[in-house]
Amino acid sequence: MAGNTHDLPPVILAGGDGADAAIARTLAGDGKLPVLDRLLSNGASGHLAGYAPFSCPMLWTTVATGKLPPHHGIHGWRTVRNGYAVWAGPRDRKA
């Protein structure tokens, strides 16, 4: 059946938190990161635009949910719950 997800090739999403893509590509091309070089040569890659301010929990939640921060509810490391500043966690995510 056309469009069956079982017919699609597997997808690997790899992200480097704080990594510089230009440096990683240079190192891969120089043979210092051979696995990354193979992934770049045989797969697809691209630059993702960030969502300022750059905050790891906000960005990775956006990647995981496909929703922007106003829709998933994670805006940083901490959130306000019951009037207290607490570490943001999965129960704070709206998506």
Confidence check: pLDDT of 27 > 90 = yes
Confidence check: pLDDT of 14 > 90 = no
Mean of the pLDDT values across residues 32-54?
84
Buried b (16+ CB within 10 A) or exposed e, 47-60: eeeeeeeebebbbe
Query: For the chain, what percent of residues have pLDDT higher than 70?
Result: 93
User: Quick one: pLDDT at residue 67?
Assistant: 92
| pLDDT confidence bin for 59, thresholds 50/70/90 | confident
Confidence check: pLDDT of 53 > 90 = no
